[in-house]
Amino acid sequence: MSDIIPKTQWIKTWSEHSVGWIQLCHDNKLNPLSAAFILAIKNAAQKYDNDSSIGCIVIIGSEKAFAAGADLKEMVKLNYASVSESRYIENGWLEISKIQTPMIAGVRGYALGGGCELAMMCDFIIANDDAKFGQPEINIGAIPGAGGTQRLIRSIGKSKAMLAILTGDMISADEAENCGLVAKVFKNQDFDSSLKNIAVKIANQSKPLAKLAKQAVNVAYETTLEEGIRSERALFYSTFALDDHVEGMEAFSEKRKPVWKNK
């Protein structure tokens, strides 16, 4: 799939207050995720990740959907040989979760199938109260393939994940928050401002400290307690080499806000 041209016309990007925004704006308001669409999203996220002025990345969709699944018009043409030989999932999807800058999924409407998987690749999800999550692949002759079976169980536990994946049923925003899939749910009138406030607060933290904190949490997510504690300790020690560590400690003792140097 190296010859695929990213569909950059299906995303809008802008930055403000050190937050990099990526909006999915496919011609179809359900934002079906094709290979070219995912490459465009991945490229935009990587560009922000390499921008030293950006301290947080937010991915949002339309009012109707974050993304309601994969592009079935594309997938229906594929067979086992084509998906395996072209490395269908490896191209684009796997790179998004490797972004070092803190990343938020802001979800309105449907986040289903690949859309749910994309949201879970972010560090956490902020949802509008109309959001619906799910992995309905079993209803169309498939199973989740971009991390759905792996990330969902880590977020909501085996029983709830198994129920969702085997039935294909959707999970409401409130249920998603109650079971840990979503960090916070906001009413429609508060969603945009609340999402922006959270993103700006993260973006205004020390950027190297935020990346180290994200790395420590991800190690806990992916490995054993013993290995996680060992990694956390090493990362904690490394903060003492940062100018921002000194600034943070001095600002606290002087009862003022820190002025981060981001180094």
- The residues, ordered by sequence, that sit 6+ positions from 103 with a Cβ below 8 Å of its Cβ are 45, 56, 57, 58, 59, 121, 122, 123
One fold for both 8-203 and 207-253?
no
The tens digit of pLDDT for each residue in 92-113 reads: 788 999 999 999 999 999 999 9
pLDDT over 60 at 1, yes or no:
no
Query: At 158, is the pLDDT very low, low, confident or very high (cuts 50, 70, 90)?
Result: very high
Class of domain 8-203: alpha beta
What's the mean pLDDT in 221-226? 92
pLDDT at 136: 95
Report, as residue numbers or ranges, the catalytic residues.
70, 114, 117, 137
CA gap 163, 99 in Å, rounded:
30
The tens digit of pLDDT for each residue in 72-86 reads: 777 777 777 777 766
Considering the segment(s) 207-253 as one domain, its CATH architecture is Orthogonal Bundle (1.10)
Handedness of CA 25, 28, 31, 36 (dihedral sign): negative
Q: DSSP character for 261?
A: -
Per-domain residue ranges for the chain?
8-203, 207-253
